[in-house]
Structure 1
């Protein structure tokens, strides 16, 4: 029986109609460790995390927390065992205050049964101060930046005494055109570093290699629902991790680009809802942006 890891998932398998999402996957996590979980879309990352969080039930396999066999069939059981997941789509009530979001469903009450807002604000402020999060607990969440909303989610998770924190693409929703992007990412990474110093275990899901190698101790790679390998971040490099993710060398992935003759425009948009672009024959035009 595993007893040296905070979390040990053994032989986890999960199938959906026509799809083997996970096939005997092992996953281990230590206290005070940041573990990056990487893989292409469809590799099984989300299914593995949802199994840990109780959103899915594994078809086979075992989960050990603190060396003890854990039964996780619903999110409430996962929370009771100290597991918290911050999904890519934040689950905050925008019209409520920071404090109300942190303690939603666990509000403080006065002797006559009314919500004790003073105590809620006091407890929220103490938690935010402990995490060094510069946010007013009375502020409405809708007025916060995306990075600060992420931090409110983290504070809420830690208010439940979570020791295992899963962060799913935490920086993907930050606006790529913002001049504050680097600062917001930096604030999040520094907060994760403080969580590590407090002995919390963090699973960090991301496609951004610079962040992965900046913050992670180890990297777990999944491909097609199987565990490909686990590497120490200090002993590998982005090219090796990407090769493990896709199953071939980067040279095979991108190939050699020869001379390409770019021709005349074959499609042109002029001020369509403020957007103008041109596509020429022989070229590939990339479009990028946030959802919506």
Structure 2
């Protein structure tokens, strides 16, 4: 073999190996969406992320009172191939890829419920505290391509206090496979009558105690919303994140005396140390 031909062949093979190694290095997250935290760095076994986030959000569903809240952030995760079991806050769950373009997720969480004291201005006086309860969350996402540039989302939240459903579509910016970058999503939300009245209904007893009109909502369309997520490594182990949420309520919810605003909005930022 001529020296020049051998050199070109060696360079070609090296390029293929480099591209393969680079692709493997980049494809670290099970699904490269910033909304799905993945601290495993592409490796099987345990992974930990611990940090804090600051949110500016409404005091309760439908409130026109806003305040800052500081919450812990991060998760404990265990990965095996394209499957992750995680514990994050008050949720224990699993997510995985049964196929390259399909993400399935199941989690059990805890709904703390609304408290009468959530309103500093006394708008909830006489309504009492809402019921706490366990919730089951089931989610399926379907990508339009293997790069997860565009995707569809379906989600069901079912628990002791009713059922909520979501249908959405999202878009991922950037080309990284480590779960960092930007992501936007739009969604339509539905609920049954139990879930609707959990947040916005007023029974006869509550009406008598609060002076608000008795309100009984039926199930159906709840809201349309927008969600933005950002996640980025600023050092080898330090990650920053940000989120913005906007939800515009249906006319039925807007007519409830509890809904003092036609929408709900939330913004948050924070950091996480990945061990």
Superposition TM-score, scaled by structure 1 size: 0.23
Superposition TM-score, scaled by structure 2 size: 0.24
Name the structure with the higher helix share. Answer: 1
Name the structure with the higher strand share. Answer: 2
Higher relative CO (Cα under 8 Å, sequence separation at least 6) belongs to 1
